[in-house]
Amino acid sequence: MTRTFRNRRTALLYILPALFLILSLVFLPIVLNLYNSLFRWNSFDAGRTFVGLEYYIRLFKDPVFYTALKNNSLYAIISLVFQVGGGLIIAAILEDKLIRRFQPFFRTVFFIPSVISIAVVGLLWQLLYNPEVGLVNGALKAIGQAEWARSWLGDSEVAIYAVVAVSQWQYTGYMAMLFLIAMQKIPFEYYEAAMIDGASRIKTFFNITVPQIKEMLLVGSVITVIGAFKVFDEVYIMTSGGPGRSTEVLGTMLYRSAFRNDEMGYASTIGTVVFVITLTLSLVQLKLGKSGQEV
Amino acid sequence: MTAKSNPIVKTDNVTEFRPGSPKLSMTIKNRIFQSAVLVWFSIFALVIIYPIIWLGLSGLKSNSDFFLNTWSLPEEWFWRNYKAAWDAGIGQFFLNSVYVTVVSVITVLLLGSMAAYGLSRFQFKGQNLVLILILSGLMLAPQVSLIPLYKLLQGFGLYNTYWALVLPYVAFQLPFSIFLMRSYFLSIPRELEESAIIDGCNTWKVYRHIIIPMGKPIIASCALLTGMNVWNEFMFALVFVEDSSLRTIPVGLMNLRSQLNTNFGIQLAGLAISALPMIIAYIIFQKQFVRGLTAGSVKG
């Protein structure tokens, strides 16, 4: 037995096909991206000129870059409040002994939007936000707040919030489900003890529920923030970064530089920035979480 | 169930939700709390589900009906919208999506389970390094690889083929599946394998006749999660394929939007066609979905 499974060559035979694909299509491109960002080049021209760090300097002077950073950060903060904070409260209430009977129904319904593709959700919400036929303005009129109605995606003041709101609609139930799964592992005895002590719901929530699932809370927060810096689909579909450049995020900025303006070097620079940000956040998770992979 | 001899990954495969608690005597305070929550959550549920129902219903309306009666049920049920959407291109996109998803999922399951087997059963030098390499693939943002992959695929003449989607999808989905399957395989008891080896089985037979059958639950979860991610993927599909005959549904829907312009009924029917498979799969296979989420929480 032991000898059979100590054979390194046999082991690698099983692992290599997967490892090869991951190395060549996930890791190699990261290295290439870094290299690409040092040249001026475009997609259909073989020639490239070495420009060193010129694009990095340009990026840090580009006002759109700061708009994008601001929008990504906004995405992260709002998602932390609604998806992590809101999801936590929803999960805690669904686990309450008085509500648990109804839990299967609510957790199923709340989760549904997260299985639909972001493309479908984006196109759907574009219609819902439509100033003429959309349900959003219709609903506002129905509850007597007609003055709040507006062209949600066409107004550069509110467009980014309208886009971020769609993600909250889509993923809050997903986060709630993750927290529910973690809460299922908390021993009943803890709650029974709290009940005997006469602790209130809010006390129980802060003294038992939250500390018991803090690992999942951390993982949930980190994947939410990383997700906020990876966003592309919904912004591209709903606004393409507009009106003006008001809803630009790093992902759409990269896409525009590469495939609209054909400045591949500049786009690669943005790619490097996305890489550094997501890598840093992942390392934070590894460092804070005991094992990082526990959940 | 906890894995032994396991350097970084610890997973309990708790999949079942607890049953509801027995009947409780209700004080007035509790009754108020319960009713308030139920009202609040029902409104929530409505906000979440109504747009989806509206999507399905509006897809069944004629265009004038759609504009005049946004909120009501269709005056006449326009099933032909679904037919029209299918013929306008959704049919082709749908089949492309099915093809790309099936090929990607099968490849991920095969290569992923083999790698997970290699990493969970064998002991060799450098094992941890390989494991860390694969698992760190979980954290990388696909945007970073977008342009280099685009050039690589062009260089190998794969740009604008099905392979331009399948290969990157497989590579980006493998780490998660390996992560899930490996932790599950570690929890499979080894006695059976030991006797199989003594009976003269080789490692391939162990993989084929012990690990795969016993790992079925996690393989099902991987299939669902991988399938969902591939079916819904947008950015690679937008960049790596340019012929509309190769487009998958998410990007195809974008094209349809500009093509159909204000014919909302047909557009919404198209959206419904592409959302339905996932919603149905989720409702039928909830248990497998939840198992996948339990074992590893990574957002698509």
Measured CA to CA in angstroms, residue A213 lies from A140, B72, B79, B143 at distances of 38, 44, 48, 31
Q: Do A177 and B290 count as a contact with CB atoms less than 8 A apart?
A: yes
Q: Which of B141, B73, B145 is nearest to A225 (CA)?
A: B141
Measured CA to CA in angstroms, residue B152 lies from A27, A256, B234, B240, B243 at distances of 13, 20, 19, 11, 18
Q: Do A233 and B235 count as a contact with CB atoms less than 8 A apart?
A: yes
Cα angle: B287, vertex B293, B296; to 5 degrees: 140
Q: In chain B, pLDDT over 90 holds for what percent of residues?
A: 29
User: Residues 182-211, chain A: which have Cβ within 8 Å of B?
Assistant: 184-185, 201
Amino acid letter at B103? V
Sign of the CA dihedral A115, A119, A122, A124? Answer: negative
pLDDT score of A98: 83
User: Is the separation of the CB atoms in A9 and B118 below 8 Å?
Assistant: no
Q: Which of B118, B239, B249 sits opposite A15 (nearest CB)?
A: B118
Q: Do B51 and A128 count as a contact with CB atoms less than 8 A apart?
A: yes
Which of A259-263, B15-19, B65-69, B190-194 shows the lowest mean pLDDT across its residues?
Answer: B15-19
Q: ipTM, 2 decimals?
A: 0.87
Amino acid letter at A156? S
Report the alpha-carbon distance of residue A74 to residue A246 in Å, rounded: 13
pLDDT at A287 over 80: no
pTM exceeding 0.95: no
Can you tell me which residue has the tokens 């719901």? Answer: A201
Chain-centroid distance of CA A206 in Å reads 26
pLDDT score of A294: 42
Q: Which band of pLDDT confidence, cut at 50, 70 and 90, is reported for residue B8?
A: very low
Report the alpha-carbon distance of residue A103 to residue B29 in Å, rounded: 20
User: Residues 77-106, chain B: which have Cβ within 8 Å of A?
Assistant: none
B178 vs A contacts (CB less than 8 Å): 18
pLDDT tens per residue across span A194-207: 888 888 888 888 88
Measured CA to CA in angstroms, residue B194 lies from B137, B145, B189, B198, B237 at distances of 33, 43, 10, 6, 45
Sign of the CA dihedral A93, A95, A97, A99? Answer: positive
The CATH code of the domain at B90-295 is 1.10.3720.10
Q: Do B115 and A292 count as a contact with CB atoms less than 8 A apart?
A: no
Q: Which band of pLDDT confidence, cut at 50, 70 and 90, is reported for residue A269?
A: very high
Amino acid letter at A78? I
Report the alpha-carbon distance of residue B296 to residue A220 in Å, rounded: 11
Q: Do B143 and A230 count as a contact with CB atoms less than 8 A apart?
A: yes
Q: Do A293 and B135 count as a contact with CB atoms less than 8 A apart?
A: yes
| Structure-model confidence comparison of residues B26 and A170, the more confident one | A170
Q: Which of the residues B44, B125, B147 would you substitute to probe the A interface, choosing the one with the greatest number of A C-beta atoms within 10 Å?
A: B147
Q: Which of B10, B70, B141 sits opposite A274 (nearest CB)?
A: B141
* Stretch B35-51: mean pLDDT: 90
Is A6 in CB contact (< 8 Å) with chain B? Answer: yes
SS3 readout for A220-272: HHHHHHHHHHHCCHHHHHHCCCCCCCCCCCHHHHHHHHHHHCCCHHHHHHHHH
Q: Which band of pLDDT confidence, cut at 50, 70 and 90, is reported for residue B14?
A: very low
B112 vs A contacts (CB less than 8 Å): 18
Tokens at B253, concatenated: 């829907």
pLDDT score of B16: 56
Q: Which of the residues A21, A82, A121, A263 would you substitute to probe the B interface, choosing the one with the greatest number of B C-beta atoms within 10 Å?
A: A21
**Is the bond preceding B250 in cis, omega lying within 30 degrees of 0?**
no
Give, to the nearest 10 degrees, the angle between helix B91-121 and helix B264-284.
30
Report the alpha-carbon distance of residue B91 to residue A182 in Å, rounded: 41
* Stretch A106-116: mean pLDDT: 91
Which of A40-54, A232-246, B152-166 shows the lowest mean pLDDT across its residues?
Answer: A40-54
Chain-centroid distance of CA B8 in Å reads 25
pLDDT tens per residue across span B56-102: 888 777 777 777 676 777 777 777 788 888 888 888 999 999 999 99
Amino acid letter at A198? G
Nearest-neighbour CA in chain B from A9: distance (Å): 9
Q: Do B20 and A219 count as a contact with CB atoms less than 8 A apart?
A: no
Q: Which of A18, A184, A233 sits opposite B234 (nearest CB)?
A: A233
Q: Where are the domains of chain A?
A: 37-114+153-288
Q: Which of A79, A241, A93, A253 is nearest to A180 (CA)?
A: A93
pLDDT at B7 over 50: no
pLDDT at A255 over 60: yes
What 8-state DSSP symbol labels residue A187? Answer: -
Q: Where are the domains of chain B?
A: 90-295
Q: In chain A, pLDDT over 90 holds for what percent of residues?
A: 41
* Stretch B190-217: mean pLDDT: 87
Is A3 in CB contact (< 8 Å) with chain B? Answer: no
**Helix (H) / strand (E) containing A93:** helix A87-94
pLDDT tens per residue across span B130-185: 888 888 887 788 899 999 999 999 889 999 899 999 999 999 999 989 988 998 89
Kindly provide the residue ranges of all beta strands, DSSP E only, lying in chain B, ordered along the sequence. none
User: Is the separation of the CB atoms in B162 and B39 below 8 Å?
Assistant: no
A68 vs B contacts (CB less than 8 Å): none
User: Residues 139-158, chain A: which have Cβ within 8 Å of B?
Assistant: none
* Phi-psi label, residue A134: left if phi above 0, alpha if psi -120 to 50, beta otherwise: beta
From the number of C-beta atoms within 10 Å of its C-beta (0-12, 13-18, 19+), residue B56 rates as: middle
Name the closest residue on chain A to residue B168, using Cα atoms. Answer: A25
Is B29 in CB contact (< 8 Å) with chain A? Answer: no
Task: Indicate the Cα dihedral angle B237, B242, B247, B249, nearest 10°.
Answer: 50
Q: Which of B48, B244, B71, B199 is nearest to A121 (CA)?
A: B48
Report the alpha-carbon distance of residue B122 to residue A4 in Å, rounded: 8
User: Is the separation of the CB atoms in B234 and B93 below 8 Å?
Assistant: no
pLDDT score of A125: 92
CATH architecture of A37-114+153-288: Orthogonal Bundle (1.10)
Give, to the nearest 10 degrees, the angle between helix B127-136 and helix B163-186.
130
Nearest-neighbour CA in chain B from A218: distance (Å): 11
Report the alpha-carbon distance of residue B170 to residue B190 in Å, rounded: 29
Mean pLDDT, chain A, as a whole number? 87
Report the alpha-carbon distance of residue A267 to residue A257 in Å, rounded: 5
Give, to the nearest 10 degrees, the angle between helix A8-22 and helix B127-136.
20
Report the alpha-carbon distance of residue B132 to residue A283 in Å, rounded: 13
Tokens at A190, concatenated: 């803890």
From the number of C-beta atoms within 10 Å of its C-beta (0-12, 13-18, 19+), residue A35 rates as: exposed
Report the alpha-carbon distance of residue A183 to residue A266 in Å, rounded: 46
